[in-house]
Amino acid sequence: MITIALPKGALLSDSIQLFQKIGLDFSAFLDPKNRQLQISDPTQTATALLVRATDVPVYVEYGQAQLGIVGYDLLLEKKPVVANLVDLKFGSCRMSVAVPKTSPYQRPVDLPPHGKVASKFVNCAKEYFRSLDLPVEIIPLYGSVELGPITGMSEAIVDLVSTGKTLRENGLIEIDTLFESTSRLIAHPLSYRLNLDNLNNWVEKVRTSVINQP
């Protein structure tokens, strides 16, 4: 029996739809009364774990789940040792640099050397500014990154943007995009290579389902 790690939050309902299309029903997780974090599909073919999005690659890396769904942004940030197999197309967003509308810095390279940039995605931000040869300091924040520029703690932020509503509400504008992100099907590398529990068959089903979707 294979185990699949599903992410709580924004990607959950699309993830469950995807597996429904290939015959695995984990919709019990969408019941607001559900408190279980581990369920089997009704045909007893697979088990699903409901975990925080950040934890999905951990469960897959340690082989506790053979498959998982995770945003490409997390793969770039955490660099887990997992196989990135299928672009699932949903959960589109982008990693952007944003500054206050009134900022004198309207291009990333305008930012002052040793300026400060607040981000949850410390590694992505560091890599980006290193590639620009700009020695800024990255301040790790875990909630409300927008508060960085509002309080004056940082000149800019690097954050995930989907609709752009949060940025607009906080008077921030995007001045560059680091990369675009979508959800990915990931697998435990060894299980995939050895085709344990006929894993490749499930991966192919997901791949075909994504290609054939309208």
Q: Which residues bind a second copy (CB under 8 A)?
A: 3, 8, 37-38, 49, 51-52, 54-55, 58-59, 62, 64, 116, 139-144, 147, 150-153
Min dist. Cβ of residue 152 to a second copy (A):
7
Beta bridge partners of 24: none
Q: Which residues, in sequence order, are CB contacts of 112 under 8 Å at separation 6+?
A: 105, 155
H-helix or E-strand spanning residue 77: helix 72-78
Q: Which is nearer to a second copy, 101 or 107 (CB)?
A: 101
H-helix or E-strand spanning residue 93: strand 93-100
Q: Which is nearer to a second copy, 51 or 186 (CB)?
A: 51
Min dist. Cβ of residue 87 to a second copy (A):
24
Alpha helices in 109-198 (DSSP H): 122-131, 147-151, 165-169, 189-193
Q: Which is nearer to a second copy, 86 or 157 (CB)?
A: 157
Q: Which is nearer to a second copy, 78 or 205 (CB)?
A: 78
Min dist. Cβ of residue 214 to a second copy (A):
34
Crossing angle of helices 199-211 and 12-21, in 10° steps, is: 100
Min dist. Cβ of residue 166 to a second copy (A):
12
Output the six-digit token pair for 162.
């989907």
Tell me which residue has tokens 């924004």. Answer: 10
